[in-house]
Structure 1
């Protein structure tokens, strides 16, 4: 990924759908549709189209001309899993965030007429900034800048979890109770439909979560992102403040500690062993100056005042969810649902699945933060 971009994430580059290119966008049909609907758009002027980062899942195209610079987001080409890639949901959530001054791309229009591009799509303003997705991206920062970035990252998370959902029009986005039980059911079901082999350890982790889930109290629902991590946001290259948080596909109403747990799973530290088998945001936060995982949890608790007594459970649940996602990617690779992918990529996803299961089981025994350092 380019360090300067608007909207494309690791999950977008590693999920189902044939490899796409800019030529996969029907520019003529799009031009006819946007004419008179998109402010600043001129149907008489050629439209420059670029596919961002090659996306194999939700595809993001940069479309521009002299009067404007936008991003168009649509589902992947080819096979689309049921209930996934809901463009209307992404548009609704981000439109609500626009209403309450949360850093998200500005939404412009949603199209549900499949006669235009063959699928739902939406158009938003292109956001220029930096996406930090690798160790190389953060290597040039000073320790002070890395610490500032850590704080800004968590401040954005706490802002998200403190939003007035009614003011954002998102108070009916999901059910305010039962989040944990629904998550366990969802990801257990997903495992059964996409597993490529029997993994008894996954069953052990699922059993522990199923047993413990009903005992986890509902402490009040907030908007949760579901995949909150460093490379799912665009930051200002001068201040390292987030300009826009991206990839709202898994957002819903739920327990905010679930989001914190996902942040911790993606956070890296020197000496991590199992975490290195997860090919997402590799070593982005390992360099000196970044918060440690303990500091991440302490900072969040201090700013929000939230009870973290169920954090170990949520780390185990996050590992379970991400393990199922990695196995789903492996399934799609082995099933030939992605072009240009080798067997080594399937092997990498397999190792990621196994590592996440092991971390999740360790979280049930020695605690979530400690397990992540294994």
Structure 2
């Protein structure tokens, strides 16, 4: 296990600057969560840093609490209310999510809005090669991820009450505009020449395709809880970036793992896939196309989606870098991701140049 993966596992005492009034939380839970009975103990999950996540332990059971971070936040960021809403909508149709018990929009309870959901027991893989899984079983885990994202894109948002969950159409144009503005307005993180080139290139090369589906926005292996012993996804986590968007953008963000260095986020770049028992990128794309009834994905559209998603992730890491500088993100993972921002921007531009050269 890598040091970075080990740093993400389990819980630890609540970090400095992220503590809150646990007695106020207990009183609120007693009035808003059926069956809650204290006393409680609060620990903080090591993994994740955008929306602070805590384990709430009681004598009878444990819960997960997700809250907005303290401090000054960008408009529209850290939308924990949306996270709770989409999970509540997906649970009745059998999509694997944690059950949400209650949402608190009152920032006076613990300092910021939050929601409380079930603690789902299982395994999270921070290494995309799934080294802890027997070689012969790894392909089945990849197939489970592929089937899960295909199932998400097959859900009609209107049938689960999410017709208004985003603006259908013009997804790429709106997303490029959103992340470009966030990057340009958040001056604390500085500027990067590759990022500036992407801001010019992406809106001038948008795909013609204009589909709409419910998308997760951050579909990676480390945002899923797998069954303890089976290649089965029990819960998809971290719905902060979910919206109505282009399904190919969402899938390409997931398949971006084939282009991602493993020391940034869970990635497969440089791995010997055949030796690891992992399907090739082409086979993985084909499996998604079969499940979603597509004849295929044009290479130009696919490579745009990869470059776009690397750009978007670079913008997110730029925001993390800014929060580290401002002192509102203090974890080691946050500092590391802030440092990786220039590499991601360069990798995104490299994908643009590689697509032109092919």
TM-score, length of structure 1 as denominator length: 0.83
Cα distance change, pair 168–344 in 1 and its aligned pair in 2 (3 A): closer
Shift of residue 336, structure 1, vs aligned partner: 4.1
**C-alpha RMSD of the superposition:** 2.9
Q: CA deviation at 1:280?
A: 0.6
Match of 1:281 among 266, 270, 294: 266
Distance 1:114 1:51, change over 3 A: same
Question: What CA deviation, in whole Å up to 9, does each residue of 1:301-354 have, x standing for no partner?
Answer: 122123512212211211211122222323333444433659984773244234
Q: Is the 8 A contact 2:141 2:232 kept in 1?
A: yes
Q: Which of 3, 23, 27 in structure 2 is aligned with 1:28?
A: 23
Q: What is the DSSP-based 3-state SS (H/G/I as helix, E as strand, rest coil) of the residue aligned with 1:234?
A: strand
When residues 64 and 201 of structure 1 are mapped into structure 2, their CA distance, relative to the original with a 3 A threshold, is: closer
Separation in 2 of the partners of 1:58 and 1:100?
Answer: 26
User: Which residue is 1:308 aligned to?
Assistant: 297
Which residue pairs with 2:108 in the alignment? 115
Equivalent in the alignment of 2:223: 232
Alignment partner of 1:82 out of 75, 81, 98: 75
Residue 221 to residue 342, structure 1, CA distance change in 2 (3 Å): closer
**Structure 2 unaligned blocks of 5 or more:** none
Q: Secondary structure at the match of 1:115?
A: coil
- Structure 1 residues 184-193 or 244-253, which shifts more? 184-193
- Give 1:155's match in structure 2, choosing from 132, 147, 150: 147
Q: Does the 8 Å contact 1:107/1:124 carry over to 2?
A: yes
Q: Is 1:38 the equivalent of 2:33?
A: yes
Question: Which segment is superposed worse, 110-119 or 326-335?
Answer: 326-335
The C-alpha deviation readout for 1:177-236, integer Å capped at 9, x for no partner, is 1111101101111221235444333333222211122x5221x31101111111000000
The 1:351–1:182 alpha-carbon spacing in structure 2 relative to 1, beyond 3 Å, is closer
Q: What residue in structure 2 maps to residue 217 of structure 1?
A: 209
Equivalent residue number for residue 178 of structure 1: 170
Counting only pairs closer than 5 Å after superposition, residues 1-374 of structure 1 correspond to structure 2 as: 20=15, 24-42=19-37, 45-53=38-46, 55-134=48-127, 138-194=130-186, 196-213=189-206, 215-218=207-210, 220-267=211-258, 275-276=260-261, 279-283=264-268, 286=271, 288-306=276-294, 307-309=296-298, 310-339=301-330, 345=336, 348-366=339-357
Matching residue of 1:370:
none
Instruction: Tell me how many residue pairs correspond in the alignment.
Output: 345
Q: Point out where structure 1 has 5 or more consecutive residues left out of the alignment.
A: 9-18, 269-274, 368-374
